[in-house]
């Protein structure tokens, strides 16, 4: 049953990594998740060695992450959007699976891993184009077996033999067009999310522990404005004390129960 605070309201939805785990993309903080330390922005720009380490791992990861498919949660949210039940969707995920599922109105709070930006000339390009260039420079590298990490890279110990590609326009340093730890979300993107929050009738969080302030701030704003907050997540979140309803449950199962349908999860990557 849908919580009564949501019944007659349109929802602003905020999604986190727990939405994509059924698609085979691991999360950082879910129950049983191993301790993982993401590369920070400061590390990435510190020199050629960290650029090599990042792109060697990311090249293997993209060959698998690019094949990830939307799961039941993504499809359920598309149906809710089509039915006019949503006022917007903000995702903390960088995998692009909401859009791949057919969602039309998505704010990618932390950017998209399928795009690449040059840190020197700021030119944007596609990840597939870079992947092709890296494959020419590093034949067979992407075929290695390695454990997937939440941000789309993998765990590799030896990356010393990897050849890094520079920007095709200026030769500069490349970075996926995502917000790394240590970076700030672009101001205009934050303002768009705040505007959606201010206008929301209810805020529903799916699959986020809300450990980072970039997502938690919208829950705090909703609470301060008296907007009902519902959180669906396996395990505790930083926003639990702000929620009108907290469900310790899976996203797909919860949405299926609310709609009275069966759940079919996506295939693992």
What was the pLDDT predicted at 36? 62
C-beta separation of 112 from 124 below 8 A: no
Q: What is the pLDDT along the chain (269 residues), one digit of tens a residue?
A: 899 999 999 999 999 999 999 999 987 655 665 556 788 999 999 999 999 999 999 999 998 889 999 999 999 999 999 999 999 999 999 999 999 999 999 999 999 999 999 999 999 999 999 999 999 999 999 998 888 887 778 888 899 999 999 999 999 999 999 999 889 999 999 999 999 999 999 999 999 999 999 999 999 999 999 999 999 999 999 999 999 999 999 999 999 999 864 444 443 33
Closest by CA to 113, choosing from 20, 12, 33, is: 20
Annotated binding residue 154:
no
Annotated binding residue 26:
yes
Annotated binding residue 53:
no
What is d(CA 42, CA 172) in angstroms, rounded to the nearest whole number?
Answer: 17
Measure Cα distances from 73 to 15, 23, 60, 232 in Å: 10, 10, 26, 12
What was the pLDDT predicted at 1? 82
What is d(CA 169, CA 136) in angstroms, rounded to the nearest whole number?
Answer: 18
CATH class label, 4-259: alpha beta
What was the pLDDT predicted at 260? 63
C-beta separation of 181 from 38 below 8 A: yes
Annotated binding residue 93:
yes
What was the pLDDT predicted at 262? 43
Q: What is the pTM of this model?
A: 0.91
Annotated binding residue 193:
no
DSSP 170-237: T---EEEEE--BTSPPPHHHHHHHHHHHHH-SEEEEES----SHHHHHHHHHHHHTT--EEEE-SS--
Active site residues: 110
What was the pLDDT predicted at 176? 96
What was the pLDDT predicted at 239? 97
């Amino acid at each position: 049953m849908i919580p009564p605070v949501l019944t007659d309201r349109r929802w602003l939805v905020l999604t986190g990594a727990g939405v994509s785990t059924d698609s085979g993309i691991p999360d950082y903080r879910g129950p049983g998740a191993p301790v993982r330390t993401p590369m920070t922005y400061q590390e990435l720009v510190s020199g050629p060695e960290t650029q090599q380490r990042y792109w060697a791992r990311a090249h293997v990861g993209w060959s698998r992450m690019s094949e990830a498919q939307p799961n039941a949660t993504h499809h359920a949210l598309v149906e809710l959007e089509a039915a006019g039940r949503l006022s917007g969707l903000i995702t903390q995920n960088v995998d692009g699976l909401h859009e791949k599922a057919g969602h039309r109105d998505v704010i990618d709070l932390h950017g998209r891993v399928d795009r690449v930006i040059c840190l020197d000339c700021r030119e944007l390009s596609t990840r597939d184009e870079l992947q092709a260039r890296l494959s020419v420079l590093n034949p067979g590298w992407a075929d290695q077996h390695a454990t997937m990490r939440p941000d789309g890279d993998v765990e590799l110990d030896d990356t010393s033999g990897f050849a890094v590609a520079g920007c095709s326009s200026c030769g500069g340093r490349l970075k996926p067009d995502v917000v790394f730890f240590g970076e700030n979300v672009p101001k205009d993107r934050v303002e768009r999310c705040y505007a959606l929050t201010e206008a929301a009738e209810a805020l529903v969080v799916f699959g986020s522990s809300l450990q980072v302030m970039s997502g938690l701030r919208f829950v705090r704003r909703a609470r301060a404005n008296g907007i009902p907050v519902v959180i669906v997540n396996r395990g505790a979140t930083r926003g639990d004390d702000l929620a009108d309803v907290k469900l310790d449950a899976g996203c797909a199962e919860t949405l299926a129960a609310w709609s009275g349908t069966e759940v079919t999860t996506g295939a693992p990557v």
